Structures are given as C-alpha cells and as structure tokens.
C-alpha cells in the first residue's frame, strides 16, 4: 500500500514499475474441473435461446451465442456444458454464465481456420471479439466512426500490473503480425505502440510508431496518452472513437496476430497476480478459469474477510467469490489480506484540497463530492465536470475523510447513463452496433 509520505508538500507520485530484464516465467495454470464463460446479456430480453444447452459437447474455439444477438463467447476448452445460469456483476451488469466441464482430450473447432487465409474485418468480428486482451472489435467495425489511429498500449493502466509489458517483451512477433493485420483490415494508417518510459527494446521496424509514457500513475490511462502523445484532448462529452482513435491492449494485438498465424482462436489469458504481501507473479490460464484454480496453483490461500480483486489496486473490481472466472479483459488478480483493507468513513469532505491537487483531470472534487453525496448527478455533470473524470482513483486514495469518491463518480456516471437510455428507448436495441 502506498502511504502518505512525510513530506506532504510535493504532490504524491505513484510510479509504474518496469518488468525486470530477466523475464519471470509465467505459471501455467491447469484448470481443475470446469471453466465458466460469461456472455454479456440484457435481462430485459427474454425471447432468446442459447446455441447450446446443458449436456452439450463443446469444442475448443466453438462459438456460443444467443440466436437473436450478435454477441458471442468462445469456448476456451473442450468439454460438456454443466450449467447455464444468469449472473449479475458490478453495477448491475448482467451475464449468462455457461459452465463447461473439461474433458480429457481436446478437440478444436475448425470454423475459424477456414477464414484465416485472407484476414478480414468480418472474420475478426465473427471470431475474435473475446480474445485475450479484449479486442475492441465494435469500435473497429463502426462505419460511422472510422478509426484512423490505433494505440496499442504496452503499459497497463493500473499499478503493479505487468500483463501487457510482459506480452511485449515475450511475444513481439505476434504483435508485429497483429499490427500488420490490423492495418490491413481496418485501414488505420497510424499505429502507435505505447511503452513505459525506460522500457528497453530492439524491435526494429514493426510497422508502428513507438512512444513512451511517463512512469507517474496514471500516465498510461488512455486520456493522458491521448493528451501527451497524440497531443489531442477529448472533449468531455466525446469518446476516443469520435476522434478516430481506438485504444487496445498489447495482448489484444498479439491475439490478432496469433489467431491468424496459427489458425486457432487464442484462449489463454496472461494475468498478473498480486499476492497479499504485494509480490507479483505472472500466470497463464484459459479464459473462464476460476480464480480459485489460479490461486491454488500459485500457493495463495484465501481467508475469510480477505479481498479478491479482478484488476489492479486503483481501478479493479472486488468480487464475491473465488469461483469468479478470468475474463478476456482480466489483466490482474489482486488478493488483499483482511488486515490491509482500508476503511471508509462516513465523514463529510473537510475541504482539505488534497484530492484537487492530485487529480490529473483538474476536477473540483471537493464541490463535486458534495453533490454526488446528495445524489444530484445532473448538477454534478453540468457544473462540476463529472464527465471529465478519467477514472484513476487517485482522489479516493488521498481523501483525508476517506470518502469513496471514485465509487460515487462511477455510480453517478452509471446512473446518468441509465437515465439517458430510459429517455431514448429506441436506442436500446441490445448492445452491439448494427
């Protein structure tokens, strides 16, 4: 945990660290019994049928989907469907959870391979939407917002997370072919790889510009990369794709490369595991592997009242159970000992200004938080720059009153988002871009 330093005058600096030159060997996780795949769904839609049912045999790489929806998941293993149920995640996000019992032999679904000769955007859309690293395919295929610049991030946004740095160090070849393919199929002419400052590499020509970000958190956040490297500011109401820019992780780019060169859809996710004592290990596991399996392989034991977090310390999400599976965008698992869990308090803001000094987005947080506590979300957005927040979590980290400011901000954005959907019911067609 980062403690307030004795000298409080200079702004606290949280540093991203570089991976050691001698790469740690990631631990291969063998999944013990079953994997669970989460298919994002809309609970309001009931007239749907899943392409598989309990008892069905599934091949590795097989697509599972609802009949009337574009969204799908790719099975990471070969096995038999053991259960299908619905699951509610953070902020009411709803999923259909498909559990698959692993069988002893592996059989690979061959559909994808038929399309790999000539890579195309359609193939990527149809098969690569949930590869490790979470390829933002919906942004790439939207004809209304053509992507001209792709930023491949080799630095993980959160602290203590090394997943993408590792991918760059260990598999630059896949990234290189991924870049070539992405250029080809999307027509984006400007590809930028972003690396942490001081990252040593000998890539040669990989078809992309290479840029570095500062080591002070949250320099690797897309908004700051946009500002510092591309020299452009995203207006608060706009998104990156409005400006023709698409961010993706190095792992996603590598997945694209691996998919088309091997003819198989990649299903193994690289994960940074942050232990209770804040030591860090890397692991590789199939998407859908329960957190429990990873922890037991690494010899990490969980006790009551510990905390299990998907993601890093600043922006991750705590989960209820170690049954929770690894998802395509799970960059890290963090375990926090019950003794190290900071308390929140019910104190009001005392206007100390520490949050304002540290906020990279220059948001008047001490005012904002008062409105958010009162539930006045619209005023918060209009007057106090709610939408400028780049979601770094620094404000909560330093808040003297221990107010969960960041949580308030996310909740407010979520509630406002729901309100705007409710106001425009026609737009609510089921998530994916047509």
Partner 1 sequence: MTTAEAMMSNHNKFIVSHAPFWHDGSSITERSYHIMIAALPAVLFGIVQYGLPAIAVVAFSVSCAIFWELAMNFVTKRSLTIGDGNAALIGLLFAMLVPATLPWWAVLTGTFVAVIIGKQIFGGIGSNAFNPVVLAIAILMVSWKDLFDFDEALLNYDLEFTMLYPIAALKHFGPESIESFTAGDLLLGKQIGGIGATFGLGIILGGIYLIIRGFIRWEICLTFLLGVFAAAFIFNIYDGSRFAGPVFHILTGYTLIGAFFLATEDSSSPVNLIPMLVYGAGAGVLTVLIRNIGAHVDGVIYAILVMNLVNPLLDKIRPKAIGKVG
Residue 403 interacts, among ligand SF4, partner 1, none and using kind-specific CB cut-offs from 5 to 8 Å, with ligand SF4
Does residue 353 belong to the site contacting ligand SF4 (CB under 6 A)?
A: yes
Does residue 99 belong to the site contacting partner 1 (CB under 8 A)?
A: yes
Is residue 294 within 8 A of residue 271, CB to CB? The reply is yes
- Residue closest to 137 by CA, chosen among 87, 72, 44: 72
Shortest separation between residue 386's beta carbon and ligand SF4, angstroms: 9
For ligand SF4, the closer CB: 51 or 317: 317
Which H/E stretch holds residue 196? strand 190-196
Does residue 362 belong to the site contacting partner 1 (CB under 8 A)?
A: yes
Among 296, 307, 378, 433, binds partner 1 (CB under 8 A): 307
Shortest separation between residue 43's beta carbon and partner 1, angstroms: 13
Shortest separation between residue 303's beta carbon and partner 1, angstroms: 9
Does residue 334 belong to the site contacting partner 1 (CB under 8 A)?
A: yes
Among 390, 408, 412, 413, binds ligand SF4 (CB under 6 A): 390
Among 192, 226, 291, 365, binds ligand SF4 (CB under 6 A): 365
Task: Restricting to residues 127-186, name those near ligand SF4 by CB under 6 A.
Answer: none
Place of tokens 């034991």: 301
- Residue closest to 274 by CA, chosen among 5, 12, 17, 4: 17
Does residue 52 belong to the site contacting ligand SF4 (CB under 6 A)?
A: no
How many Å apart are CA 67 and CA 51, to the nearest integer? 6
For ligand SF4, the closer CB: 59 or 370: 370
Does residue 380 belong to the site contacting ligand SF4 (CB under 6 A)?
A: no
Is residue 38 within 8 A of residue 290, CB to CB? The reply is no
- x/- mask, partner 1, residues 4-43, rule CB under 8 A, reads x-xxxx--x---------------------x-x-------
Among 164, 186, 331, 401, binds partner 1 (CB under 8 A): 401
Does residue 406 belong to the site contacting ligand SF4 (CB under 6 A)?
A: yes
Among 352, 374, 419, 421, binds ligand SF4 (CB under 6 A): 352
Radius of gyration of the chain (CA): 22
Among 60, 123, 149, 401, binds ligand SF4 (CB under 6 A): 401
How many Å apart are CA 344 and CA 336, to the nearest integer? 16
Among 27, 56, 126, 323, binds partner 1 (CB under 8 A): 323
Is residue 395 classed as helix, strand or coil in its secondary structure? helix
Shortest separation between residue 214's beta carbon and partner 1, angstroms: 16
For partner 1, the closer CB: 4 or 53: 4
Who's near 51: CB < 8 A, 6+ residues apart? 63, 64, 65, 66, 67
Residue 379 interacts, among partner 1, ligand SF4, none and using kind-specific CB cut-offs from 5 to 8 Å, with none
How many Å apart are CA 305 and CA 318, to the nearest integer? 12
Residue 311 interacts, among partner 1, ligand SF4, none and using kind-specific CB cut-offs from 5 to 8 Å, with partner 1
How many Å apart are CA 373 and CA 354, to the nearest integer? 18
Q: Mapped to the 3 state alphabet, what secondary structure does 319-367 carry?
A: ECCCCCECCCCCCEEEEECHHHCCCCCCCCCCCCCHHHHHCCCCCCHHH
Is residue 203 classed as helix, strand or coil in its secondary structure? coil
149-153 β-sheet, strand order? 209-213, 190-196, 149-153, 245-249
Residue 251 interacts, among partner 1, ligand SF4, none and using kind-specific CB cut-offs from 5 to 8 Å, with none
How many Å apart are CA 189 and CA 132, to the nearest integer? 24
Contacts with ligand SF4 by CB under 6 A lie at 349-355, 359-361, 363, 365-366, 369, 389-395, 398-401, 403, 405-406, 409
């Amino acid at each position: 945990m980062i403690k307030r330093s004795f000298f409080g005058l200079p702004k606290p600096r949280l540093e991203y660290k570089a991976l050691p030159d001698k790469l740690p060997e990631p631990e291969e996780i063998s999944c013990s019994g079953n994997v669970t795949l989460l298919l994002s769904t809309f609970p309001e839609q009931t007239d749907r049928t899943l392409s598989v049912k309990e008892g069905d045999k599934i091949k590795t790489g097989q697509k599972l989907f609802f009949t009337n929806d574009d969204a799908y998941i790719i099975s990471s293993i070969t096995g038999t469907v053991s259960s299908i149920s619905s699951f509610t995640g953070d902020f009411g996000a709803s999923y259909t959870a498909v559990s698959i019992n692993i069988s002893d032999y592996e059989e690979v679904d061959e559909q994808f391979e038929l399309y790999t000769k000539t890579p195309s955007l359609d193939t990527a859309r149809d098969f690569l939407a949930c590869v490790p690293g979470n390829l933002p395919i919906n942004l790439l295929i939207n004809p209304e917002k053509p992507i001209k610049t792709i930023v491949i991030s080799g630095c993980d946004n959160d602290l203590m997370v090394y997943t993408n740095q590792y991918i760059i160090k260990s598999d630059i070849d896949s990234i290189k072919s991924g870049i070539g393919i992405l250029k080809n199929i999307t027509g984006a002419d400007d590809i930028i790889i972003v690396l942490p400052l001081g990252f040593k590499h000998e890539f040669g020509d990989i078809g992309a510009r290479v840029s570095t970000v500062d080591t002070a958190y949250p320099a690797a956040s897309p908004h700051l990369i946009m500002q510092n490297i591309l020299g452009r500011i995203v207006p608060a109401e706009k998104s990156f794709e409005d400006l023709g820019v698409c961010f993706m992780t190095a792992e996603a780019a590598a997945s694209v490369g691996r998919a088309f060169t091997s003819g198989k859809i990649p299903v193994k996710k690289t994960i940074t595991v942050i232990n209770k004592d804040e030591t860090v290990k890397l692991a590789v596991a199939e998407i859908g592997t329960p957190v429990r399996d990873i922890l037991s392989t690494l010899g990490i034991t969980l006790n009551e009242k510990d905390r299990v977090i998907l993601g890093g310390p600043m922006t991750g999400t705590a989960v209820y159970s170690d049954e929770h599976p690894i998802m395509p965008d799970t960059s890290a698992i963090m375990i926090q000992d019950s003794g190290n869990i900071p308390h929140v308090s019910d104190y009001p803001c005392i206007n100390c200004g520490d949050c304002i000094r540290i906020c990279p987005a220059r948001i008047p947080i001490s005012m904002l938080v008062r409105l958010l506590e009162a539930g006045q979300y619209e005023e918060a957005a209009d007057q106090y720059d709610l939408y400028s927040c780049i979601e770094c979590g620094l404000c909560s980290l330093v808040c003297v009153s221990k107010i969960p400011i960041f949580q308030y901000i996310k909740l407010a954005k979520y509630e406002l988002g729901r309100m705007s959907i409710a106001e425009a019911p026609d737009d609510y067609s089921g998530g994916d871009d047509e």
